[in-house]
Amino acid sequence: MNAIYILWLRQLKRYFRSKSRMVGSLGQPILFLFALGFGMGPVYAKAGQGNYLQFLVPGVVSMGILFTAIFSGVEVIWDKQFGFLKETLVAPVSRLSIMFGRTLGGATVAVLQGCIVLVLSMLFGFRFPITALPMALVCMFFIALLFTALGTALASVLEDMQGFQLIMNFLVMPLFFLSGALFPINDNTPQVLKLITAFDPLAYGVDGLRDVLIGVTHFGLPLDMAVLSLVTVLFVVLGSYLFSKIQI
């Protein structure tokens, strides 16, 4: 437990020391909130769907968590290349504890990033009941833990930053754009798109967060939490196995 706590704390220290990382990771969510929230808002309202900003914010918060969580895997490759990972792995601590510590640390950082985006969205006019905050944090943590574990799993089998970036471009953007973060999933949605969305784990995180914050859902919160829990366990187990196979 001490090793997990130390590695968790190390991830937090890295985050707070990197001011450019904290500020830079907010650029894309703010752009989406401003450009889409206000740009597409009138069109969304004319279609009879209500306030688009209210609909958009849970998706943008999920996006902030997704990017921060999954790119935390880059640190594994970085540590590989500069020898820091070797120093960690030769310590008298199980690799499972190391993986859990890094994953929990990355997930905590991603949740903090999501909270910052949520606060900023309130400056744009987003409103939600304060009583929804505890459950919203639970949803955010599941999203963060899931994709931090996935990022760690992918980084464990890659040797260079270029390979990781290539996979992320073919994985992260489709995960986000096909999750229903930017568009509603309803009876008018093409069946093929609904089918693809049903296999996107981020879709259940976005739907759960949207249900908690604004009361709009497609899958239902019980199914959202069940899928998130199952996939999170799957990716944590997979990430732990692949991390244990890293050669030093």
Domain that holds residue 56: 2-244
CA distance 129 to 120: 16
In this predicted model, what pLDDT tens digit does every residue of 58-112 receive, in sequence order?
999 999 999 888 887 777 777 776 666 666 666 666 767 777 888 888 888 899 8
In this predicted model, what pLDDT tens digit does every residue of 146-181 receive, in sequence order?
999 888 888 878 777 777 677 777 888 888 998 888
pTM, full prediction: 0.88
Q: What is the DSSP string of 172-206?
A: HHHHHHTTTSSS--STTS-HHHHHHHHT-HHHHHH
Amino acid 247: pLDDT: 67
Q: Which band of pLDDT confidence, cut at 50, 70 and 90, is reported for residue 8?
A: low
Q: Say which residues have a Cβ less than 8 Å from residue 211's Cβ, sequence separation at least 6.
A: 217, 220, 221, 224
Amino acid 141: pLDDT: 93
Mean pLDDT, the chain, rounded, equals 81
Query: Mean pLDDT throughout 193-217?
Result: 92
Q: Structural domain tally of the chain?
A: 1
If 0-12 CB within 10 Å is exposed, 13-18 middle and 19+ buried, where does residue 6 land?
middle
Q: Quick one: which of 246, 68, 67, 74 has its CA closest to 152?
A: 74
Amino acid 79: pLDDT: 72
Amino acid 87: pLDDT: 64
Query: Mean pLDDT throughout 180-190?
Result: 82
CA distance 171 to 173: 6
